[in-house]
Each structure stands twice: as C-alpha cells, then as structure tokens.
Structure 1
Amino acid sequence: MDHFTDIASTQSVLTAARAIRDAMPDIPLLFTFRSAKEGGEQTIPTQHYLALNRAAIDSGLVDMIDLELFTGDADVKATVDYAHAHNVYVVMSNHDFHQTPPAEEIVLRLRKMQALGADIAKIAVMPQSQHDVLTLLTATLEMRQRYADGPVITMSMAKEGIISRLAGEVFGSAATFGAVTQASAPGQIAVNDLRSVLMILHNA
C-alpha cells in the first residue's frame, strides 16, 4: 500500500483493498505498507502505520498483514495479538537495503519475530559480495534446522542474490517473490521464469 497516493485516508485504503479483494476473491491477500526506511515508497507516522494495519484487520478483507519487526516490540506484539484475535495471520519482516548482517544477527532477528508471535518470519538483506549471499543462506539453514517453529522466508537482494530467490527452498526458505510487470525489490525475477526454475528444483 505504500504506492497508494491517498494513504492518509484510511477509508480510501480500505476502498482499494475492497476492489482488490473483489477482483481476486479466491487469492490470499497480504496487506503490506512498506516503510521508506525498509525500501518502501513513503514515510508515515508509526501510529498511522499501526492504525492502517488494525483497520485492515477489522475490515475482514485481508488474510495476512505484513508487520515490520523494528516498529517497536510492544506495538508489534499488540498488533500481532489483535490480528490473531481476528483470524488474520502475520508475516513479520525486516529489510536491510544497505548490508548483510552476520549470520548470527540474521538468525537473532528471525527468532525475535517468532518470539513476538509471527506466523511467518521474513528477512531480506543486501549483499556486498558473493560471501554475503552465502551468509544469508547459512543463516537460513541454521534457522530451519535449529530454531524454526513455522515458515521462514529469506532472500538476498540484487543480482548477486538471485540464487537465494531461486534455491531458497533448498536451505529452508518457504517462499519467494516474483515480478508480474515491475519488480518491487532489487533482484526480483519475472514470475513465469521464476515458477519454471522453482518447479525444477522442487521436483528434483
């Protein structure tokens, strides 16, 4: 929703959500406002961000919300609890567009998401080298084998990280993101090409 120009109007946001739901009644709908600090298009006050997510939950139009980890622990936990009380799942996320943290830090963030009640923990990081891509994949594997109690989604962005989008399942990432027309993050692959490679690896 961060591409939506009338984001200040909760009613306009919900009207747009209704239009999307009506157009795709059988497709799970993930409500996402990506903040500018994590790669999104706009900056809004934290309280409006939280209110938008609560309004989406209340609307009954969405199946999941995306909640950024570093919004504040108390607010995040309260929103998770509110979502679950309304049978809405939570994808908790963190996006680092500047670097790839050490594997230990990546695992720590994913574990914190779980501790705060995330149904799906997601992290995307920016590689500065091929070794950074290996760091992300190593952290993903460690998370899956030692700590995960639910699905985890991880990816290394940009051209260097494309392999993590293609082969993430091998290391424990539960999903990836493809581009229909225009990529929303560096390194996203056209959805038809992505599907072909994923099916080859999944069925191998």
Structure 2
Amino acid sequence: MKTVQIKNLVLGSGRPKVAVPITGKSLEEIAEQAQTIAQQKPDMVEWRIDFFKDVMDKLILQAGAQKLRKILGETALLVTFRTQAEGGELALDDDGYFKLIHEVIQEKIGDAVDLERYHDEGKIKELVGAAHENEIIIIMSNHDFEKTPSKQEIIERLSSMVALGADIAKIAVMPNSNGDVLTLLQATKEAAEKLSKPLITMSMGNLGKVSRISGEVFGSALTFASVTQASAPGQIELAHLRQELEDLKLS
C-alpha cells in the first residue's frame, strides 16, 4: 500500500493513526475544544464545519481556521462538511456544498479535505484537481447509517474513490449483526490488497467498535476517537483507544 503524508503525519504504514473531531458551534467553543484536544496530542484533528453555525460566512470560517492553526501547531488538520444525507448537522444542496468545499480548498483552510463520493462526478474531479493544485490531500468518503452493503459493494465504492483521484478512500457503515462487522473487515482486507491508496474503514455503533481498533490487521490507516464530543456512533475515548491499539500492535 502506498503511503500518504499530511504535514508530518504518514498514513498507510504501521499502526492506524488517530483523529479527533472538533464539533464546536461557535468560535469560542471551537477554540475551547481545540485547546483540550491539543493537550492530548492526537495524530490528526478533524474540524467538522457542519457543526459550526457561521460555516457559510467565508471570513468567519477563515478566522476559525487561523485560531485552530495557532492552537494545533503542526498537527494535521482535516476539514469536513458532512451533509445531512450522510449523517451531518446541516442541510446544504449540491451547489452550496461544492461552493463551500471549493472555498475551503482555495483558502487552504485545512491540510486535508473530506469530499463525499456520491455527488456529481464531474464536479468531484474538479475539486480533486483544485485540491492537488493547492497541495491539499483529498479523503473521499461514503457513509451508510442504515446498513452494511455487501463485501463487493464496499470494495467497489472504495475502488471508485481511488479512480476519481482520492488520495485516501474512506467508508463507514452501520452493522445490524456481527456478520455485518465481518463483512466490513473482509472488504477492508481485500480492498487494501487491491488498491494503491490508503483506506479508512469502520463499522459504526457499539457492535462495530472492534473495527476501530483492528486497522493494523485488516488495512485501515486511520481511526477516529473522542475527547470532548463524539462525531459518530461508536467512537472510543482517545486514551482508551491508544492503549487498545498498543495492545494489538503487530510490530
């Protein structure tokens, strides 16, 4: 598997790296969460800008990014607007979504940007190109909060992300049985063997927690933990997750 570097962070080798979300609604909440998270020294911070009440104000968004840069220093920053259709906080039509992501890229709000897979493919390719011109990493993603697709469907979705130019392909699915968790893990193993880009995969909720700690075995390069507030069901508290990853390390 090829590796991808985001600032000083290398994804795709060794143990899964750990990202922690910031979900503040105001600049004050964002700064407060960032200070607390920075003390814990995660590998990456994900700024979930769909939680931010002023996300559509370009100048205030830039001010938030500047605050985060000062607090987080050299920690890699992933910027994510999660649409409501994929479990996010704010409704935004496709035009608004693409406009916002384009601004995030052009203004270099983060070191990496999350780009949802299932939008217009032509516009997705344009944003991937713009990100790469600005030396920003694209994590392309898909989330299913209802079910776990078949193994083949999961592999096909991840493969399509790589084909569209993603630097890292991500999928999160909801298990309705322990068999669903096995499906996600088997799909991760096979996709990691097949694809040339790092993967991020997870089975959500309590049933899927094992997938958040087993990435080194099956081929998932990044996992998400909570410090102040979880951004998805099943996230494990950072200190516990670190110990579990250490206990399960292969090397």
TM-score for the superposition, normalised by structure 2: 0.78
Q: How big is the shift at 1:45?
A: 2.1
2:73 matches 1:25: yes
2:230 matches 1:187: no
Per the alignment, residue 9 of structure 1 pairs with 57
Once the two structures are superposed, what CA deviation does each residue of 1:161-195 show, in whole Å capped at 9, x if it has no partner? 00000112210111100001221100000000001
The percent identity for this pair of structures is: 46
Give the alignment partner of residue 107 of structure 1, picking from 138, 155, 173. Answer: 155
Structure 1 CA distance for aligned equivalents of residues 137 and 229 of structure 2 = 26
Tell me: higher relative CO, structure 1 or 2? Use CA pairs within 8 A at least 6 residues apart: 2
Once the two structures are superposed, what CA deviation does each residue of 1:86-141 show, in whole Å capped at 9, x if it has no partner? 10010000000000000000000000000000000000000000000000000000
2:198 matches 1:178: no
Contact 2:79 2:109 in 1 (8 A): no
Per the alignment, residue 196 of structure 1 pairs with 243
Unaligned runs of 5+ residues in structure 2 are: 1-48
Per the alignment, residue 97 of structure 2 pairs with 49
Unaligned runs of 5+ residues in structure 1 are: none
Q: How many residues align?
A: 203
Pairwise mapping of residues 82-101 of structure 1 onto structure 2 (< 5 A)?
82-101=130-149
Contact 2:145 2:174 in 1 (8 A): yes
Q: Which segments of structure 1 move beyond 4 Å, counting only runs of 4 or more?
A: none
Contact 2:56 2:100 in 1 (8 A): no
Per the alignment, residue 120 of structure 1 pairs with 168
Q: How big is the shift at 1:56?
A: 1.6
Structure 1 CA distance for aligned equivalents of residues 68 and 204 of structure 2 = 27
Give the alignment partner of residue 166 of structure 1, picking from 188, 197, 213. Answer: 213
Structure 2 CA distance for aligned equivalents of residues 61 and 185 of structure 1 = 23
2:148 matches 1:75: no
Structure 1 CA distance for aligned equivalents of residues 171 and 196 of structure 2 = 16
Contact 2:158 2:171 in 1 (8 A): yes
**1:38 aligned partner, one-letter code:** E
Which one has the bigger helix percentage?
A: 1
Give the alignment partner of residue 59 of structure 1, picking from 98, 104, 107. Answer: 107
Contact 1:169 1:175 in 2 (8 A): no
Please say which of residues 25-34 and 2-11 is displaced more in the overlay. Answer: 2-11
